[in-house]
Amino acid sequence: MFVRNAADPFTLGYTAFEAGLAHANNDLAGYGAGAAGYGKRLGAGLADETSNGFFRTYLFSSLLHQDPRYFRRGSGPLTKRLTHALIRPLITEKDSGGHAFNWSGLFGNIASSSLSNAYYPAGDRGFRPTFERVAFAIPSSVIDHLIDEFGPDLEKHFLRKR
């Protein structure tokens, strides 16, 4: 699952798009401007995606016996589906059945954010920037799960063939 996601064209394209936004906003300013600055941001984005996938989807999920996948409800009351998507970054499925706190997601985000201190510019390294990235990962996961839960319904509604 980790390898498939890391090599997914959508992941690569989205990372390139995010690097372009970061470049336009001069995020990670230590990387500089021009094509070289964009290339450094793209490389950092790809390293972030790969390390996050490795730690969250493979390493900690395997060690802690937690399932990193999102299971879409797909039907039922809106409030239950919404709650399911909102709580998923904090609560996950165990391999043995049942639910548990999403330690693999938390530890994976901490490990990935800590590793990024090796290649981020000096101004974006350290304890505070690391845990700001960890804190930002939670709402990002919520948005991902909302898209996973409701995206197919919206696509079906707006793009249905006549």
pLDDT digits (tens, 9 = 90+) for 101-110: 999 999 999 9
What's the whole-number mean pLDDT along residues 116-126? 95
**What is the 3-state secondary structure of the chain?**
CHHHHHCCHHHHHHHHHHHHHHHHHCCCHHHCCHHHHHHHHHHHHHHHHHHHHHHHHHHHHHHHCEECCCCCCCCCCHHHHHHHHHHCCCEEEECCCCEEECHHHHHHHHHHHHHHHHCCCHHHCCHHHHHHHHHHHHHHHHHHHHHHHHHHHHHHHHHCCC
What's the whole-number mean pLDDT along residues 87-111? 94
pLDDT band at 118 (very low <50, low <70, confident <90, very high): very high
Tokens of 15: 């990372």
Distance in angstroms (rounded) separating the CA atoms of residues 28 and 37: 9
- What pLDDT is recorded for position 161? 59
pTM, two decimals, is: 0.86
pLDDT digits (tens, 9 = 90+) for 37-73: 999 999 999 999 999 999 999 999 999 999 999 989 9
pLDDT band at 8 (very low <50, low <70, confident <90, very high): confident
Q: Considering all CA atoms of the chain, what is the largest pairwise distance in Å, rounded to the nearest integer?
A: 55
